[in-house]
Amino acid sequence: MKEDILHNLKVINTRIQNACEKAGRNSDEVKLLLATKTVPAERIKIALENGQTLIAENKVQELKEKYEDLKETLHNNHFIGHLQTNKIKDILKYDVTCLQSLDRLELAEKLHQRLSAENKTLEVLIQVNTSNEESKFGINPNEAIELTRKVSEFSTLRIKGLMTIGLFSAETEKVRLCFKILKKLQQEIIRENIPNVEMNELSMGMSGDLETAIEEGATIVRVGTAVFGARIYPDSYYWNEEK
């Protein structure tokens, strides 16, 4: 099992490198984030002990369950799932450093309240729904600039960029359109020159579409199955807040 993970990591890193070369980008512009939903802590540890540093969960419950087992192993924890406001205290307690799925003002308000009380700050990415699928979370692209502007007023939230989940489709060019929307939004927001807003990060691309995302400017690719193997539940399970 260790060999599998190490082999898969090598393959992914080569894919990232090749995509960067093709796009004329430097491979150190793209960070590999491991999406660790359903993966037991011992398997995550193998990746962390072999050069990986960035992981992310979708559900607070899993973050909590693995916390003790992983806390001695150096890493950085992002959160990429839909976050309910009553779980805010947990992501802070379990040392999440970046919330990639900030998708609504109410969540920002509640985060700010809690962060202020704890005298902390949190990095955030604004999650945008670029595929126009109702099943996906994320702010509508038309409302993303306004949300960014409002979130920027909360001094505890450090906006670092944007995140999206591309369309699930075998048609590369349709997926590419999603990534282009995110890139274009990033450029628009940069032009707005909003105080307290950095727009360096574009978190987009997963196991199946990371090459396309890198060609369109991704700085963080989020990879799960290509490193840890297939999951037993469909992705919709993890992206549904009711479960």
Ligand X SMILES: *Cc1c(COP(=O)(O)O)cnc(C)c1O
Site membership for ligand X, residue 223 (CB under 6 A): yes
Of 84-92, 104-112, 145-153, 220-228, the segment contacting ligand X by CB under 6 A is: 220-228
Of 63-71, 115-123, 189-197, 218-226, the segment contacting ligand X by CB under 6 A is: 218-226
Tell me if 221 sits within 8 A of 205, measured CB to CB: yes
For ligand X, the binding residue among 12, 32, 37, 157 (CB under 6 A) is 37
Residue 2 half-sphere exposure, CB side, CA atoms within 13 Å? 6
Of 71-79, 135-143, 175-183, 217-225, the segment contacting ligand X by CB under 6 A is: 217-225
Site membership for ligand X, residue 238 (CB under 6 A): yes
Minimum Å gap between C-beta 207 and ligand X is: 3
Site membership for ligand X, residue 44 (CB under 6 A): no
Residues 6 or more apart in contact with residue 86 via CB below 8 angstroms: none
Q: Which is nearer to ligand X, 186 or 203 (CB)?
A: 203
Site membership for ligand X, residue 226 (CB under 6 A): yes
Site membership for ligand X, residue 162 (CB under 6 A): no
Site membership for ligand X, residue 47 (CB under 6 A): no
Site membership for ligand X, residue 58 (CB under 6 A): yes
DSSP 128: B
Minimum Å gap between C-beta 221 and ligand X is: 9
| Alpha helices (H) in the chain, listed in sequence order | 2-23, 41-48, 60-70, 88-93, 105-118, 144-151, 172-192, 210-215, 225-228, 235-238
Distances (CA, A) of 64 to 41, 79, 84: 11, 12, 15
Look at the block and give the residue holding tokens 């699930």: 168
Q: Within the chain, what is the greatest distance between any pair of CA atoms?
A: 48
Tokens of 237: 């399970």
Q: Which is nearer to ligand X, 107 or 165 (CB)?
A: 165
Burial of residue 188, with CB atoms counted within 10 A of its CB: 0-12 exposed, 13-18 middle, 19 or more buried: middle
Site membership for ligand X, residue 35 (CB under 6 A): yes
Minimum Å gap between C-beta 194 and ligand X is: 25
| Residues at the interface with ligand X (CB under 6 A) | 35, 37, 58, 80, 165, 206-208, 222-226, 235, 238
